[in-house]
Amino acid sequence: KMALGGTTADQGAQAIAMQLTIRSTDESAVQVIASAVE
């Protein structure tokens, strides 16, 4: 990983995993996370 956005890529992967997990239980939570990321 390059110094540029190395941690960003990890956080992005974690965010996607969290969204997929939460989506199955609470879609509104996913919307909150999505809006926070934006």
pLDDT of the residue at 11: 76
Show the domain range for 24: 8-37
Domain-embedded: residue 23: yes
pLDDT of the residue at 2: 47
Domain count, the chain: 1
pTM (2 decimals)?
0.34
pLDDT, tens digit, 9 for 90 and up, residues 1-38: 445 555 666 778 888 887 777 655 666 777 777 888 77
The torsion of the CA quartet 18, 21, 27, 33, rounded to 10 degrees, works out to 0
**If residue 23 lies in a helix (H) or strand (E), which one and from where to where?**
helix 6-23
Domain-embedded: residue 20: yes
Domain-embedded: residue 19: yes
Domain-embedded: residue 3: no
Domain-embedded: residue 30: yes
